[in-house]
Amino acid sequence: MPSSFIKRCLFYFVGLIILSIGVAMQVKGFVMGLSPWDVLHFGLWQSVGLTFGSWAVIIGIFIVIATSLILKALPKGGVYVNLLTIGAFIDFFVWLLPDASSWPAQAVYFTAGVFIAAFGSAFYMTPNLGAGPRDSLMMVLVMKFNLRMARARFLMELIVTVFGIILGGPVFIGTILIVLFYGKIIEMFFPYTRELLIRFIGYDDPRIIQFK
């Protein structure tokens, strides 16, 4: 039904915005450390060159290619939307949000940002229009190895963090907390985002993603 597809697209787009706000808040609370993927991007930037954002895009493209080869199928359109827009959204909210000058304020920024980003991740994945490159990789691990989403994300981010540390990326307590709990927080939000989308559409569309 066209109206259902349009509503799923709107839901997806709102999810990307929520996710971007959460990531921007984590950037503002950098004293707590960087997320695993950002540790890797930072390490590559410092070790190899280019820019932080360039490595985020390059890694994203590599993941899209890898997941396409594993699944033997091209990604859904939402993957490309995520890859091409999320960076601009994050940059905008980093510019918009006020800086935190004190350690407690940065800690609040970071903590709130983790929960908001996790909610945004669950929000934009629920319509099943294609997760972002990194979340797509997580879903490949879920499908191929029959893992729970939290465990798949934990393993993925643990490996990424190790490579980031080897390359000189900054790690602090926030990085560890994200590795341990971020996937679980997304799982916690998923039933609520699914219910929100069902209410928004008006019925339980079978195309809405489901997790175990």
pLDDT of residue 2: 62
| For range 187-212, the mean pLDDT | 85
Rounded to an integer, the average pLDDT of 167-182 is 84
Average pLDDT rounded to a whole number, residues 155-162: 87
Rounded to a whole number of angstroms, the distance between the first and last alpha carbons of the chain is: 26
Share of the chain above pLDDT 70, in %: 96
Q: How confident is the model at residue 3 (pLDDT cuts 50, 70, 90)?
A: confident
The answer, as to whether pTM is greater than 0.85, is no
Distance CA(78)–CA(19), nearest Å, equals 14
Contacts of 36 (CB under 8 A, 6+ apart): 157, 158, 160, 161, 164, 175, 178, 179
**For the ranges 50-54, 69-73, 86-90, 192-196, the one whose mean pLDDT is highest:** 192-196
35-53 b/e (C-beta count within 10 Å ≥ 16 → b): bbbbbbbbbbbeeeeeeee
> What is the model's pLDDT at position 45?
80
Mean pLDDT for the chain overall: 85
- Is the confidence at residue 212, as pLDDT, over 60? no
Q: What is the pLDDT of residue 146?
A: 82
The arithmetic mean of pLDDT across residues 117-132, rounded, is 88
